[in-house]
Amino acid sequence: MHKHSKIYIAGHKGMVGAAIWRNLEKKGYQQLIGVSRQELDLKNQTEVSRFFAQEKPSVVIDAAAKVGGILANNNHPYPFLMDNLVIQNNLIESSLEAGVEKFIFLGSSCIYPKMAEQPLREEALLTGSLEPTNQWYALAKIAGVKACEAIRKQYQKDYVSLMPTNLYGPFDNFDLETSHVLPAMIRKFHEAKEAGDQPVKLWGSGTPLREFLHVDDMAEAVCFAIETTFSENLYNVGTGEDLTIRALAELIQKITGHRGDIIWDSSKPDGTPRKLMDVSKMTQAGWKASIGLEDGIKSTYQWFLENQATFKEVKI
């Protein structure tokens, strides 16, 4: 891929899209395309088709999605299913119509069955039932993976799906109603510290194991995918390492400087016992994560401190 190739990043203002934009810009890519929701409604098929016909991008990165944690997914199943289906279908179909050379579809580890063998391998897709609380989002992403696979099979196009583990980093969502566990903990521990080291109450037992990938590493993986021709359609992106939620809480407590108690509310659900990605396919292809968890959380907390007045609050 040439540095002057036109690359359209759908969702370029979100945490992942913004990280990809920064990464590509730093690497010297000169024709990056990003449009706001006000300029282009990705749920409007006619608008999206017209945009592709005008811009004629060579590469499309689908980082646009309605995202949220367990609470948001569970309470708003319809938009998490339908909005994501409509957005990705419009992008994939318009890319095929416009002759886009390379399409990179970004999903989530939640596409795999709840009780799939650990670590999660790409071959586990559609072999069992999904986690009920976020099945709506997962179903939409599975449809996107399969659409890209179908295009590869039928049209021999370079359409690939990357499934990241839990992402975090600058421009994350710190809204306690809709955020994921790591940014929610950063905010809870920080605010408890500011309030005189008040106790922090967290859901569950703290025993589930989770894996976390810094968004800048994810952006590196996307850039690697742009510059690489993959032999398969689906690749996991992660660190290949996990830790308990309790250990994560203690690490964030240390980084934020909170000295109060941590109270575990065992009446609240733990979710899936473990979610670790098998990243051997990506490793064999030549890419590996490089940002350690402690360093990544430190830099994310610093970003949080510098942007408290303006950080993103997601509203359903």
* Structural domains of the chain, ranges and CATH numbers in brackets: 6-306 (3.40.50.720)
Using the Cα atoms of residue 254, residue 260, residue 265 and residue 266 in order, give the sign of their dihedral. positive
Looking at the chain, how many residues does it have? 316
Binding residues for substrate: 188, 203, 210, 270
78-110 core/surface letters (b: 16 or more CB in 10 A; e: else): ebbbebbbbbbbbbbbbbbebebebbbbbbbbb
The Cα 18–Cα 195 span in angstroms is 32
Q: Which residues are annotated as a binding site?
A: 11-17, 106-109, 141, 164-167, 180, 188, 203, 210, 270
Amino acid at 156: Q
Residues belonging to the active site: 137
pLDDT in tens, the chain (316 residues): 789 999 999 999 999 999 999 999 999 999 999 999 999 999 999 999 999 999 999 999 999 998 776 777 778 899 999 999 999 999 999 999 999 999 999 999 999 998 899 999 999 999 999 988 889 999 999 999 999 999 999 999 999 999 999 999 999 989 887 778 999 999 999 999 999 999 999 999 999 999 999 999 999 999 999 999 999 999 999 999 999 999 999 999 999 999 999 999 999 888 778 889 999 999 999 999 999 999 999 999 999 999 987 765 544 3
What is the CA angle 246-248-249, rounded to 5? 65
3-state secondary structure of 163: strand
Q: Beta strands 274-275 and 234-237: pairing type?
A: unpaired
Residue whose C-alpha is closest to residue 110's, from 88, 134, 127, 126? 134
Which CA distances in Å does 8 have to 95, 100, 171, 261? Answer: 10, 10, 20, 46
Residue positions in the annotated binding site for NADP(+)? 11-17, 106-109, 141, 164-167, 180
